[in-house]
Structure 1
Amino acid sequence: MSEQRLFEASHVGAIAVKNRITMAPMTRSRSAQPGNTPTLLMAEYYRQRASAGLIITEATQISPQGQGYSWTPGIYSTEQIDGWRAVTDAVHQAEGKIFSQLWHVGRMSHESFHVDGKPVAPSPLAPDAQVWVVGKDGIGRMVDCPTPRELSVEDIQSIVADYRQAAVNAIDAGFDGIEVHGGNGYLIDQFLRRTSNKRSDHYGGSLANRIRFAQEVLEAIGNAIGADRTGIRLAPFITQRGMDDPQAIAAILALAAWCQQKGFAFIHLAEADWDDAPQIPDEFREILRATFDGAIIVAGNYSQQKAEKLLANGLVDFVAFGRPFVSNPDLPRRFAESLPLAPIGNKATLFGGGAEGYTDFPFWSDAEE
């Protein structure tokens, strides 16, 4: 390639990064049990991939209530914070930068994670979706999500406080910044869309009301750790899990305009990543770029060539890669030197397990050339 913008140094808010390649957040379900605590194996996994300009961790629940899948890590207990500190230490020793992705799944959960058997949501509507749950036999299965209970205003304020504390915990654990997961049908996304938010109070109905929860979460975090270390992930064109709302784009652009006013560091777009997925219209990218001048990150089954094209036209600033980073811990080098990419192989190792399919993928050896 004549120009490789992926390898330019840049900034994400307050954080300087060595290239524009981001490791996308990917759930791998390898936290220690009981307690959903990050492990030294997780530290090694992220350390191996520290040549990315920025690593965004797997989604990490802000509270026990925020959990929706088995063995996903949290960041609310002392043990979890200590476990994450080992991860950030390992990444920093390898000269990498790492942000924590904070989430609350809302209705994308299962009764086994809740004392009363009820996940929570803006409205008591089931998502017509499944989550991965490990049964008493130790085997993980996809199971249906039940109908959630509706959050009270007091509940909502408590969750905002949980987000704030989780962000403070993340900085205490050594993270360079945080990303709020506001896409893919999880709690913040549930508030944004009319298909999942039927509230009649000041958190539902109008567009201004539907973006209010996201604004309160971001403002609480920004006030605690700095807006220039805070971003949000959004999923404008993803419609599964009962999230198909024609007004979603308007809500997301209104939230982006507010993020611009408040000086938040970045917006990360989760784009559909299956082979025949709908393409993101250039018009949307152009409007978002005109609306928000912070960093724009995109993730969605990108090739190196497609990533370079988007970077060249100025519509995005960083491109995140997910599955290629699973089996290619040295992905930036492979891109830079046009080396072949290793396949994932056994997909059964993606969720749960140990080192197999996690930290045992080799780096490219010069002897292979």
Structure 2
Amino acid sequence: MATTAPALFEPLKLGDITIKNRIGMSAMTRNRADAKRVPTELMRKYYLQRGLGGAGIIVTEATCISPQSCQYDRSPGIWNAEQVAGWRKITNVVHLAGSKIYCQLWHVGRMGIPDNTDGPSAEVVYAPSAIPIRGETTSCFHFLPGKPGHVVPTAIPDPRVIIAQFKTAAENAKLAGFDGVELHAAAGFLVHQFLDSTSNVRTDEWGGSAENRARFGLEVLRALSEVFGRNVSLKISPAGGHNDMGMPLDETVETFSYFVSEADKLQLSYITLSRYVANMAPVVEGKKRGTPHDLIATYAPLIKNARVFVVGRVTPGEAQSLVGSGRVDGVFFGVGWLTHPDLAKRIQHGKRIDNMLAVPHLYGDACGGVDPRIGYTDYPAVTY
């Protein structure tokens, strides 16, 4: 049962915009773009439903910045005019519904798939260092059945090339009408790979010390800020072990404390702390990956300029407590929004949060679904 939560429904200034409440919809991979990674009419309906459902801010599913940045089939892109036009239809209806929307910019790094269908240069998998990911190698939403899921990547010769791709993606996001962009620096993807010493063993200016390993992410944020000013945000997961990430605790705290402190100096709109969720921690070679620690207690005090958001199995009651006590400024929900298009309204009015998750249809046709609407736009709302 949801509980009424007045603190969650106070407006909040984020950069140059104001959101109507403190309840955000987190980025979630859904795989409903078309074969060319162009956002579809079905996606427009999905985001409109959540805008009408009261979201203060919506963050899109992870969006590929280039053909080589993708991992999953039918994840949307934002590197060409057709994709920009598709996103424009979505931002228009979200704004008409009274919500704000950021585009989450994504490069998967060593999580990429070789010989994919996104262009002649996409067969090379790039990463900070030539270190392959361990653990799970295939999944139903990798797009080449029977092919290796992860290979030995090629160390990026010049990271500035990728930084330029992030900036171009931000420029496209602006053309598409987004209110801002969120840098995906979590879950073991490219920015996270640069930060983590287990995946980055470079000996140049982009590796070695915490300062050097943080350089790539900070330079990307600077490039994004040249496009969106203060309307740039950051998502990190220092405790999570997803995609074979995880340093010792002292090194983790040192690295991310430096990264967060320096990122905050860039006058970002918000920083999201993605918490460790034990039952979702991956197992690699018989051991759970991850470095569990209290992200809010460790990193929130370092954030002086940006707003602080938290995500990761937060209940409405806990969200009210965290915001009401001033420990965070807002909360992102993930699965709650996936299964309840009217989640914010349910919380506000004390309605039940009880729609069941349609697990087989999380990723649409990529996991064998027949009708992409199932488990996507068919979750029921309630009457108010």
Normalised by the length of structure 1, the TM-score is 0.91
Matched, 1:118 2:136: no
Matched, 1:268 2:272: yes
Amino acid at match of 2:178: F
- Root-mean-square deviation (CA, aligned residues, Å) is 2.0
Residue of 90, 93, 112 corresponding to 2:93: 90
Aligned residue number for residue 237 of structure 1: 239
Equivalent residues of 1:22, 1:52 under 8 A apart: yes
Amino acid at match of 2:373: A
Aligned residue number for residue 361 of structure 1: 379
Give me the whole-angstrom Cα distance separating, in 2, the residues matched to 1:320 and 1:141. 36
Aligned residue number for residue 216 of structure 1: 219
Give me the whole-angstrom Cα distance separating, in 2, the residues matched to 1:342 and 1:158. 46
**Shift in Å at residue 219 of structure 1?**
0.5
Give me the whole-angstrom Cα distance separating, in 2, the residues matched to 1:141 and 1:30. 22
Matched, 1:127 2:154: no
Residue of 308, 311, 335 corresponding to 2:347: 335
Give me the whole-angstrom Cα distance separating, in 2, the residues matched to 1:157 and 1:231. 20
Equivalent residues of 1:274, 1:301 under 8 A apart: no
Equivalent residues of 1:118, 1:146 under 8 A apart: no
Residue of 109, 114, 117 corresponding to 2:112: 109
C-alpha distance 350-104 of structure 1, shift in aligned 2 (>3 A): same
Aligned residue number for residue 289 of structure 1: 300
Give me the whole-angstrom Cα distance separating, in 2, the residues matched to 1:192 and 1:261. 18
Give me the whole-angstrom Cα distance separating, in 2, the residues matched to 1:198 and 1:281. 24
Amino acid at match of 2:319: A
Aligned residue number for residue 15 of structure 2: 13
Give me the whole-angstrom Cα distance separating, in 2, the residues matched to 1:279 and 1:150. 26
Aligned residue number for residue 185 of structure 1: 188
C-alpha distance 327-111 of structure 1, shift in aligned 2 (>3 A): same
Residue of 140, 144, 150 corresponding to 1:145: 150
C-alpha distance 45-167 of structure 1, shift in aligned 2 (>3 A): same
**Shift in Å at residue 311 of structure 1?**
1.4
Amino acid at match of 1:48: Q
Matched, 1:326 2:338: yes
Aligned residue number for residue 50 of structure 2: 49
Matched, 1:255 2:259: yes
- SS of the residue aligned with 1:41? helix
- For residues 196-217 of structure 1, what are the alpha-carbon distances to aligned partners after superposition, in whole Å with 9 as ceiling and x for unaligned? 0010111000111100001110
**Shift in Å at residue 274 of structure 1?**
4.8
**What 5-or-longer segments of structure 2 have no aligned partner?**
282-289, 366-371
Amino acid at match of 1:341: I
- For residues 279-330 of structure 1, what are the alpha-carbon distances to aligned partners after superposition, in whole Å with 9 as ceiling and x for unaligned? 9645x42342321121111110111111112112322111111111111100
Give me the whole-angstrom Cα distance separating, in 2, the residues matched to 1:91 and 1:30. 17
- SS of the residue aligned with 1:126? coil
Matched, 1:308 2:320: yes
Residue of 180, 196, 201 corresponding to 2:199: 196
Amino acid at match of 2:126: V
- For residues 93-120 of structure 1, what are the alpha-carbon distances to aligned partners after superposition, in whole Å with 9 as ceiling and x for unaligned? 1111000000100001211327463311
State the identity %: 34
Give me the whole-angstrom Cα distance separating, in 1, the residues matched to 2:129 and 2:40. 36
Aligned residue number for residue 165 of structure 1: 168
244-253 or 21-30, larger mean C-alpha shift:
244-253
- SS of the residue aligned with 1:144? coil
Amino acid at match of 1:225: F
312-321 or 181-190, larger mean C-alpha shift:
312-321
Aligned residue number for residue 287 of structure 2: none
C-alpha distance 355-245 of structure 1, shift in aligned 2 (>3 A): same
- For residues 123-150 of structure 1, what are the alpha-carbon distances to aligned partners after superposition, in whole Å with 9 as ceiling and x for unaligned? 1111114453234xxxx78963111111
**Shift in Å at residue 363 of structure 1?**
1.3
Equivalent residues of 1:109, 1:145 under 8 A apart: yes
Amino acid at match of 1:314: G
**Shift in Å at residue 91 of structure 1?**
0.4
**What 5-or-longer segments of structure 1 have no aligned partner?**
none
Amino acid at match of 2:315: S
Give me the whole-angstrom Cα distance separating, in 2, the residues matched to 1:141 and 1:174. 39
Give me the whole-angstrom Cα distance separating, in 1, the residues matched to 2:317 and 2:221. 33
Aligned residue number for residue 368 of structure 2: none
Give me the whole-angstrom Cα distance separating, in 2, the residues matched to 1:11 and 1:60. 25
**Shift in Å at residue 78 of structure 1?**
0.5
Amino acid at match of 1:315: R
Q: What is the number of residues matched between the two proteins? A: 357
Amino acid at match of 1:127: I
- SS of the residue aligned with 1:179? strand
Give me the whole-angstrom Cα distance separating, in 2, the residues matched to 1:276 and 1:162. 31
